[in-house]
Structure 1
C-alpha cells in the first residue's frame, strides 16, 4: 500500500514557475484548469503529465508573463488546437449545435409522441358504423370464449 501511495505521489505534476505577481499565478492556475489536454482528453493541463500538457503550461506561463489577456491566451490555444482544448466551449458556430442538440431532440421526441397519441386516439373514431358493429361482435365472441 505504501508503494502505491509513493508511486501516485511521484506521478503528480510538479512544475515551479516564478511569477512576477500573485495575480498572474492565480490566472495561471485558473487557465490551466480551463484548458484540456489534447492527448489525455479528459484531463486539464494542470493535472496531465503528457508532454503536450507540459508544453501548454510553459506557453501559458510565457504568455502570461508577456502580458497577454486571458481572452488572447484562450484564442491562441483554440486557434492552435481547436475548440476541443476548452472544457467549456463557446456557444457559437459548430458548438452551437452541440449546445442545442439535447433541447432539439427533446422537442422532436415530444412532437412524435403527440402525433402518435393523436393518431391512436383518433383510430377508433374513423371506423364506419358497419365496422363498429363487426368489432363489437368480434369482441363479444372473444369474451364468451
Structure 2
C-alpha cells in the first residue's frame, strides 16, 4: 500500500513540475506577444521597465488563476487598447494600421507614374534661330 502512495505522490509531483513548465511557457508566449507600454518598441519579455515587470507579474497571477491566454490578452487589450498587442487584429479600429503602408505605397507609385507620363509627353521648346545656327556649326565641326 505504501508503495502505491509513493508512486502516486511521485506521479503528482511530476505532473506539478510539468504544469509549472507549461505556465512558464505560456507566460513567455504572452510576454513575447504583448508590447511594453513604456518602451513601445519592445515586448514585455524584452523590456526592463517597471511597468513591464508589473504586467509580467499580472500575467503570472492570471495564469495561476486558470485564465486562458486569450482571456489575458483580452484583459490587457481592454486596459491598454489594441496597441498593446504586437499583432493587432484586423478590424475597423486598426484598418489604418494594416492598410496604411499599402495605401501610401500605391499613392507613391501613382505620383511617380503621373510624373513620368507628364515628362514623356512634353514637347521640347523649338530652337531659336541663333540656337539652330550654333547647333549646325557644332555638327559641321566648325566650332569657334
> Between Structure 1 and Structure 2, how many residues are aligned?
121
Give the TM-score of the pair, scaled to structure 2.
Answer: 0.68
Of 104, 119, 141, which aligns to 2:133?
A: 141
Give the alignment of 1:27-106 within 5 angstroms: 27-106=26-105
Tell me: CA distance 1:138–1:92, structure 2 relative to 1, closer, same or farther (3 Å): farther
How far did 1:117 drift? 1.9
**Structure 1 unpaired stretches of 5+:** 1-17
**Structure ID, larger Rg:** 2
Give the alignment of 1:98-137 within 5 angstroms: 98-124=97-123, 134-135=126-127, 137=129
Give the TM-score of the pair, scaled to structure 1.
Answer: 0.68
Contact 1:45-1:56 at 8 Å conserved across structures: yes
Tell me: CA distance 1:142–1:102, structure 2 relative to 1, closer, same or farther (3 Å): farther
What is the distance in 1 between the residues matched to 2:131 and 2:115?
Answer: 24
Higher relative contact order (CA 8 A, sep 6+): 1
